[in-house]
Homo-oligomer: A and B are copies of this chain.
Amino acid sequence: MKTILGRDLPAYIEGYGEVSPFQGTFRNYGIKTRKAVNVTSVTPANQKVLDDLEQAFDLLKIKDGMTISFHHHLRNGDHVLNMVLEGLAKRGLKDLTVAASSIFPIHEPLVEHFKNGVVTGLVSNYISGPVAEAVSKGKLKKPAIMQTHGGRARAIESGDLHIDVAFIASPTADTYGNINGVYGKSACGTLGYAISDAEYADKTVAITDNLVSFPACPIQISQVFVDYVVQVESIGDPRGIVSGTTKITKDPVALIIAKRTAEVIKASGLVKDGMSFQTGAGGTSLAVASELKDIMQREGVVGSFASGGITGYLVEMLEEGLFKTLFDVQCFDLKAIDSFRSNATHQAMSASMYGNPHTKGAVVNNLDIMILGATEIDTDFNVNVTTSSNGVIMGGSGGHSDTAAGAKLSIVVTNLMKSRLPIIKDRVTTITTPGESIDVVVTERGIAVNPRRVDLMEKLSHTNLPLVSIDELKEMAERITGIPKGVQTLEKIVAVVEYRDGSVIDVVKAV
């Protein structure tokens, strides 16, 4: 079988199942089903607070082969995933699938659980660090399933990803299971990636290091979805949860890229009242936001919203009146957390509302401008953010494919070369986001517009921007770096890359 992008896929993958090959960004719409959910209803006599995790494991009746889920709002400070897995490993459980919205270096203990068969499946939107390397080396029994942020919510809500027990790391929880992320020593802000888990799992457990009397305020996840509450000493290390500040790059090349990107945005005609914008938290992305801010201020433009993982920089733009509101699925820094806690126009969104393609309309559908990164780009504009150029997993889509599909103008910003390797290739190692969703690639040496966007090409042709074809960009880099050798991979499939609609857009093979 082949995807519409020409990737060969087996019809069936052991440990994954039947493969539905990717057929295009908007081919899989129409009437979809949110699955039925079993709810254990309780009388007023019921109490939810348990003594400890061990009591929770007893009551939850966790069995070999079950799927347990986690969110990643505590990022590289998360203690909950390791704590739960350690407890389950001690009980001798095997063959568990971990559905974690993202995996960070702190989750290294998972590698041991892979080796001894406690964990044989992994479903995630982003995998970095030792766990990513272990998956790439074939240490996990089944192929990992790599989803997008919106695709994960879709999978959970449709039933494609059935969660037996959701363990919700809860910066604050009350005695009846109401949860928020804005108070407590492990405050992380919004809890967008945990919402579908809490609502659609068979059982949901709040794990908190800040148990408060009923009722917690504000309520981000309601008591009606939570079966048990467990108090622990610490759910996370604040140093790993959020950075104190996110900073604009000082690298002169990155600043050139940012400036040109802003000029592309300006020329597109999208800078006007009601505009919307999303970018990541990286230094170059923030530099683009800074350039855009200057343009908006100069022209007196008021945007409708900025969205995504939210940084202090976007909070400043909100406070300065450049956007009417923020849609926040995840707070990236302390300033974002403070703002969400105190400013009603800083609104939370679930991952489903953010990017699930099978709702009545996600927030990404309203995005005008999206700034994206890339590890590799091919001459059809397909983007890889899943594997490094040596084929090892080092990330994943996160919201990349979701926002690229939704936004009117999706711009990849990247240096033409990184670590003496060219970024633009005939064929990317792994396709994460289809070229159909990418409109422009901005590098320090030139700007390539996707030939599908004749309208945009026309608009940019009236500027002094250095427009080139994507093939020319590739050749520019190769003249300096030479043509890189292809990646040597083994036959074993170690990860299945799902597009946001659940079709398979690529696979990752063992290295």
> Which residues in B have their C-beta under 8 angstroms from that of A226?
360-361
- The total of chain A residues at the interface (CB under 8 A) is 59
**Most B Cβ at <10 Å: residue of A31, A274, A344, A360:** A360
A193 to chain B, nearest CB (A): 16
What residue of chain B has the Cβ atom nearest to residue A325's Cβ?
B217
Given A43-B29, A274-B213, also A177-B360 (CB < 8 A):
yes
What residue of chain B has the Cβ atom nearest to residue A327's Cβ?
B215
- Which of A317-339 touch B at CB < 8 Å? 324-325, 327
In the assembled complex, the Cα of A361 lies from the Cα of B215 at a distance in Å of 13
What residue of chain B has the Cβ atom nearest to residue A501's Cβ?
B41
**Most B Cβ at <10 Å: residue of A42, A357, A365:** A42
> Which residues in B have their C-beta under 8 angstroms from that of A43?
26, 29, 365
Q: Are A366 and B215 within 8 A (Cβ)?
A: yes
> Which residues in B have their C-beta under 8 angstroms from that of A26?
43
A300 to chain B, nearest CB (A): 17
Of the stretches A235-243, A282-290, A345-353, A488-496, the one at the interface is: A345-353
Whether A311 sits at the interface, judged by CB under 8 Å, is no
In the assembled complex, the Cα of A357 lies from the Cα of B45 at a distance in Å of 13
A299 to chain B, nearest CB (A): 18
Of the stretches A32-40, A54-62, A63-71, the one at the interface is: A32-40
A302 to chain B, nearest CB (A): 10
A160 to chain B, nearest CB (A): 13
In the assembled complex, the Cα of A39 lies from the Cα of B30 at a distance in Å of 8
Q: Are B33 and A347 within 8 A (Cβ)?
A: no
Q: Are B39 and A224 within 8 A (Cβ)?
A: no
Whether A169 sits at the interface, judged by CB under 8 Å, is no
Given A360-B224, A360-B225, A360-B226, also A34-B36 (CB < 8 A):
yes
Whether A48 sits at the interface, judged by CB under 8 Å, is yes
A167 to chain B, nearest CB (A): 15
Interface residues as binary, A164-198 with B (CB distance below 8 Å gives 1, 0 otherwise): 00000000000011000000000000000000000
Q: Are B38 and A352 within 8 A (Cβ)?
A: no
> Which residues in B have their C-beta under 8 angstroms from that of A215?
304-305, 324-325, 327, 347, 363, 366
Whether A46 sits at the interface, judged by CB under 8 Å, is yes
What residue of chain B has the Cβ atom nearest to residue A29's Cβ?
B41
Q: Are A360 and B227 within 8 A (Cβ)?
A: yes
> Which residues in B have their C-beta under 8 angstroms from that of A361?
42, 46, 48, 176-177, 223-224, 226
What residue of chain B has the Cβ atom nearest to residue A273's Cβ?
B213
What residue of chain B has the Cβ atom nearest to residue A47's Cβ?
B361
A181 to chain B, nearest CB (A): 14
In the assembled complex, the Cα of A26 lies from the Cα of B30 at a distance in Å of 41
> Which residues in B have their C-beta under 8 angstroms from that of A204?
360
Interface residues as binary, A257-296 with B (CB distance below 8 Å gives 1, 0 otherwise): 0000000000000000010000000000000000000000
- 7 further A-B pairs in the complex, CB-CB below 8 A; given A33-B36, A46-B365, A344-B344: A29-B43, A39-B359, A43-B365, A44-B365, A48-B361, A217-B347, A227-B360
The 7 tightest CB contacts between A and B, nearest first, are: A224-B359, A44-B365, A36-B36, A41-B358, A34-B37, A26-B43, A217-B325
Offer 24 A-B interface pairs, CB within 8 angstroms, sorted by A.
A31-B40, A32-B38, A33-B36, A34-B36, A34-B37, A35-B36, A36-B36, A39-B359, A39-B360, A41-B358, A43-B365, A44-B365, A44-B408, A176-B366, A214-B305, A214-B366, A215-B347, A217-B345, A218-B344, A218-B347, A223-B353, A223-B360, A225-B359, A227-B360
